[in-house]
Structure 1
Amino acid sequence: MDMGKTKTIFFKFSNIQQLLDHGLTIREILFWLALLVCLFPGVTAPLALLMGLVFANLLGTPYATSRTKATDYLLQFAVVGLGFGIGAEQAFQAGKAGFVMTMVAIFGTLGLGVILGKLLKIEQKTGFLVAVGTAICGGSAIAAVSPAIKARQHQISMALGAVFVLNSVALFIFPPIGKFLGLSAEQFGTWCAIAIHDTSSVVGAASQYGKEALNIATTVKLARALWIIPVAFVAAMTFGKGKENIKIPYFIGFFILAILANSYLPMANWMVTLIHHLSHMALCLSIFLIGCGLSKNLLFAGGVRVLGQASILWVIIAGLTLLVIVNF
């Protein structure tokens, strides 16, 4: 036998042996058990986030390198799956009803965020990223705009940390506030879609309020997320960095296709039910993985001033949006 082939076979065999001999640590075992728990029907988004936070801050999260991509794919799958439960007419009406409020909220948030950043003497790019994350869709918007304005890693981390803190808080407090105020499913879904940062927490909070609220929140939220594209282009031109690095959320197109398939293609009830169950599991898994990334170092990376800018901005926008929804 050729000597080169013999060495290759031996090398591959050695790699397999090393893989078989590698034992799971207690941390890794607990991590996989937590992932399995997230697949149970009774597990809610807040519980999944809480488990992730425990791992991030008490136990330490394994597999840190591959976690981010898995989170993105699971969340996108969950959102697209939700489209199979929404009718085209319902989606159109929800998008139409929330369009004006969404547009006003986005531009109002961006303007107010930039002003607050200057008043609090925060770095221009960091303050702008916080404003963008609050105005559009949290971490996704920050990730999309950051390369367009050539933001540095510490600026991105500070903005992400501040936005993620509030995004996590929203997942826990929005449903109780909605129930206390007696908001209808339509009102609560619209409020979640406009006032909560990330898509994951919008879907997670709305899912606790019923299917109608969930459908409205998802539709309005993804319509809001489309504003990433024009805002990123404007930001790139404003900061003079060009537009070649803008990330476009293409999965929204698959969400629209899912709505059209649900509305105009014959689909068995068992198939739609299965897709809904899989979407719920994917959502809980993605939120758990998001929680696993929220270490204390990230959450408070920006210090008091950046967190203060994000908090003031969020409270004002969430409060004004709620007042408009309740009274008009």
Structure 2
Amino acid sequence: MNKSTISGVAFTFGLAAVSFILSLLPGLSVIGPLAVAILSAIIYRHFFGYPDAYKKGIQFSAKILLRTAIVLFGLKLNITIIFQEGLPLLAKDFIVILFSIGSMVLLARLFKAEKQLSFLLGIGTGICGASAIAAISPIVKGKEEETALSVAIISLVGTAFAIGYTLIRPFLHLDVTAYGTWAGLSLHEIGHVALAGNPAGEDGLGMALLAKLGRVFLLVPVSLFLVWLMSRKDKDAAKEIVFPWFLLGFIFMSLFGSFINGRYLEIPPDVLKGISTLTTFILTMAMAGLGLSVSLADLKTKAVKPMLLLFLTSILLSGLTYMML
């Protein structure tokens, strides 16, 4: 790493640290550090401009650190639980992914919204929010700006829906297990699922996370399918498609956490918690790097319509998954 790269990484580190602190404040704690980092970076660029001297380091954070966080994120996926208790949910999770992507793509065509941005929002809605968008974006050759915008939009919309779920839960004729399943099948991020599922107690939250983990599990086959689809769609561009090797790291970490840890060696819970926090912080640095690629003018012109379409898709998805219970 040269001095410029190190300075740029340090810059995103500072933005991430500030975002972490701000995310502890009332109101901002609901949307979480990732969305705060995106918004903070966008605001910084608006008032102070893009820091060109740190460009290499910022891009390092937006790309390399982003993929590193996804690899570490694999530790949160316990495959054994999915296969033991969640197989029936996988079929529903698959339907959720198809519906989310299909709805966003169709609505984007009907209302002439940004196609790539809408597709990434469909991916994030169907699978696991920002992490899925970050994994899929390089496969479909998404721009950094599109990735940042889609992450910001899905964080905000997902938070609104998670809060809405907690508000209407007392009025729903659902037991805690059914409510948890509904939240896990329909909400965007794991954090959103945890927020909405927590009021239903341990049983409701456990079921919510199980349903959500099934969608996270499907990230890998969906990614590999898109690699194959992109290569078939444009054979000349197939040579330019870089296989998402970091997904193999994601799979390895998932297998490690599922089959090695606890059987052949024991990672202390405090260490696992520390790794989880580190993963979130690295992802926050990546979001800061992505956010710096977005201008407020672009946010106004490109994000409003996809955000409204995401609201509509999310409402339809909530209705569909409610009927699937």
Question: How many Å apart are 1:277 and its aligned residue?
Answer: 1.8
Counterpart of 1:169, as a letter, is: V
- Distance in 2, matches of 1:46 and 1:315, equals 19
1:272 aligns with 2:268: yes
Match of 1:103 in 2: 94
The alpha-carbon distance between structure 1 residues 33 and 145, as it changes in their structure 2 partners (threshold 3 A), is closer
Match of 1:70 in 2: 65
CA contact (8 A) 1:39 1:285 kept: no
- Distance in 1, matches of 2:286 and 2:156, equals 10
The alpha-carbon distance between structure 1 residues 318 and 229, as it changes in their structure 2 partners (threshold 3 A), is farther
1:261 aligns with 2:256: no
- Distance in 2, matches of 1:146 and 1:254, equals 21
Tell me the alpha carbon deviations over residues 5-37 of structure 1, each in whole angstroms, 9 at most, x when there is no partner.
xxxxxxxxxx99x9xxx9xx9x88964753785
1:115 aligns with 2:114: no
Question: How many Å apart are 1:222 and its aligned residue?
Answer: 2.1
Structure 1: gaps (5+ residues): 1-14
The alpha-carbon distance between structure 1 residues 109 and 64, as it changes in their structure 2 partners (threshold 3 A), is same
Secondary structure at the counterpart of residue 264 of structure 1? coil
CA contact (8 A) 1:147 1:246 kept: no
Match of 2:278 in 1: 282
Counterpart of 1:280, as a letter, is: S
Question: How many Å apart are 1:172 and its aligned residue?
Answer: 5.7
Moved over 6 A (4+): none
Q: Which has the higher mean CA deviation after the structures are superposed, 227-236 or 138-147?
A: 138-147
Counterpart of 1:285, as a letter, is: F
- Distance in 1, matches of 2:114 and 2:13, equals 42
Counterpart of 1:316, as a letter, is: L
Question: How many Å apart are 1:179 and its aligned residue?
Answer: 6.5
Q: Percent identity?
A: 16
- For normalisation by structure 2, the TM-score amounts to 0.66
Tell me the alpha carbon deviations over residues 111-147 of structure 1, each in whole angstroms, 9 at most, x when there is no partner.
3333212211246555544444433444555555556
Give the root-mean-square deviation of aligned CA atoms: 4.4
- Distance in 2, matches of 1:255 and 1:152, equals 26
CA contact (8 A) 2:39 2:152 kept: no
Question: How many Å apart are 1:255 and its aligned residue?
Answer: 0.8
Alignment of 1:169-248 (within 5 A): 169-171=157-159, 173-174=161-162, 177-178=165-166, 180-181=168-169, 187=178, 190-191=181-182, 193-197=184-188, 201-203=189-191, 205-206=193-194, 209=198, 212=206, 215-216=209-210, 219-226=213-220, 227-238=222-233, 241-242=237-238, 244-247=241-244
1:135 aligns with 2:126: yes
- Distance in 2, matches of 1:116 and 1:36, equals 35
Q: Which has the higher mean CA deviation after the structures are superposed, 211-220 or 244-253?
A: 211-220
Question: How many Å apart are 1:72 and its aligned residue?
Answer: 3.3
Q: Which has the higher mean CA deviation after the structures are superposed, 59-68 or 225-234?
A: 59-68
Match of 1:52 in 2: 37
Question: How many Å apart are 1:73 and its aligned residue?
Answer: 1.8
Tell me the alpha carbon deviations over residues 169-199 of structure 1, each in whole angstroms, 9 at most, x when there is no partner.
31464156247415777556644554344xx
- For normalisation by structure 1, the TM-score amounts to 0.66
Question: How many Å apart are 1:229 and its aligned residue?
Answer: 1.7
CA contact (8 A) 1:192 1:205 kept: yes
Match of 2:48 in 1: none
- Distance in 2, matches of 1:29 and 1:124, equals 32
Counterpart of 1:34, as a letter, is: V
- Distance in 1, matches of 2:320 and 2:16, equals 42
The alpha-carbon distance between structure 1 residues 278 and 39, as it changes in their structure 2 partners (threshold 3 A), is farther
| Structure with the greater alpha carbon radius of gyration | 1
Match of 1:310 in 2: 310
Tell me the alpha carbon deviations over residues 39-84 of structure 1, each in whole angstroms, 9 at most, x when there is no partner.
99xx96844246425632444587523322224323432x33335x
Match of 1:324 in 2: 323
Aligned match of 1:164 in 147, 152, 157?
Answer: 152
- Distance in 2, matches of 1:186 and 1:286, equals 33
The alpha-carbon distance between structure 1 residues 253 and 214, as it changes in their structure 2 partners (threshold 3 A), is farther
